[in-house]
Amino acid sequence: MNDIDPRTKLIQVLILSTLALIYNKLSLLSLILLAAIVIALLNRINLLSILIRLKRLVKMIILIALIQSLLTKTGNPIFRIGNFTLLTDYGLIKSLEFILRLGIIIVSAAIITTSSSREIIQGLIQWHCPYEIAFMVSVAIRFLPIFKEEMTDMITAIQLRGIDLHKVKFNKKIQVYKYILTPITINSVIKAKELAAAMEMRGFRAYPQRTSYMVLKMQAFDYIIIGLSIAAAFLFFTFQ
């Protein structure tokens, strides 16, 4: 299924994320997540390796959900210490909803990553999205790993100057991260300016009509998948 058109995947992801935002019942969100997982598996995505790669984000999501459940006071108490209600059924349901919703969004993002950023941008252009906007999206996607690498390099450089981030206290660690925030922002602005200059020099927007080396063509299979996805979403919407 990796050969399907990126626009087909975009439609699937659009449907999944819209449903995740519309509904807030645990059972329905679980069903949507299940559907997202099935689509991801059909796209031969290794969800386990993605979970491992995103373990910090997963930990943060669980932590936020835990805080949310502990701070929600409405509903029937499940766990109390003296007069203090620590956990209610409503708080627990809300935090589970939050986890499921973000799970759907993460799996949807994983589905999109089976197409290259170039293919996705071409899909957007062929959907008559203005080239400038599509190009901005493409630049943002391409630059994300570069910024990540830059951040990693800076943290490595700081450690190689003898600051052991594993040993310093949490507040000191925050101080280090705060310290590198300004240089990272400045570097980003410099990179953006250099990129803009390079684009101007290569005649970006010199002609109103652009041709493209890559042209995407929807196959019958794509139309079947889109049809099935819309039908499934409609059925879900009608019979939920």
Partner 1 sequence: MNNIDINNISYEYHRGRQIFNNFSLQLKNGETTFLTGCNGCGKTTPTKLIMGIIKPTSGEIKIFGKRADSLSLGSMGEIIGYVFQYPERQLFSSSVMDELTFPLIFKGYNKIETFEKAKDLLKIFDLEKVKNSYPSLLSYGEKRRLAIASVLMVVPKYLILDEPTASLDNHRIDALSDVLIELKNRKIGMLIISHNKTFIEKHKDRVIKLEGGQIYE
Residues in contact with partner 1 by CB under 8 A are 150, 153-154, 156-167, 172, 175-176, 179-180, 182-183, 186-187, 190
Nearer to partner 1, 24 or 113 (CB): 113
Q: Which residues lie closer than 8 Å to 155 by C-beta, 6 or more apart?
A: 165, 180
Q: What is the DSSP string of the chain?
A: -TTS-HHHHHHHHHHHHHHHHH---HHHHHHHHHHHHHHHHHTT--HHHHHHHTHHHHHHHHHHHHHHHHH---S-EEEEETTEEEEEHHHHHHHHHHHHHHHHHHHHHHHHTTS-HHHHHHHHHHTT--HHHHHHHHHHHHHHHHHHHHHHHHHHHHHHTT--TTTS-HHHHHHHHHHHHHHHHHHHHHHHHHHHHHHHHTTTTSSSS---S------HHHHHHHHHHHHHHHHHHHH-
Closest distance between partner 1 and the C-beta of residue 178, in Å? 11
Closest distance between partner 1 and the C-beta of residue 54, in Å? 18
Closest distance between partner 1 and the C-beta of residue 176, in Å? 7
Nearer to partner 1, 74 or 152 (CB): 152
Nearer to partner 1, 2 or 156 (CB): 156
Nearer to partner 1, 46 or 240 (CB): 46
Nearer to partner 1, 82 or 162 (CB): 162
Closest distance between partner 1 and the C-beta of residue 197, in Å? 15
Closest distance between partner 1 and the C-beta of residue 196, in Å? 17
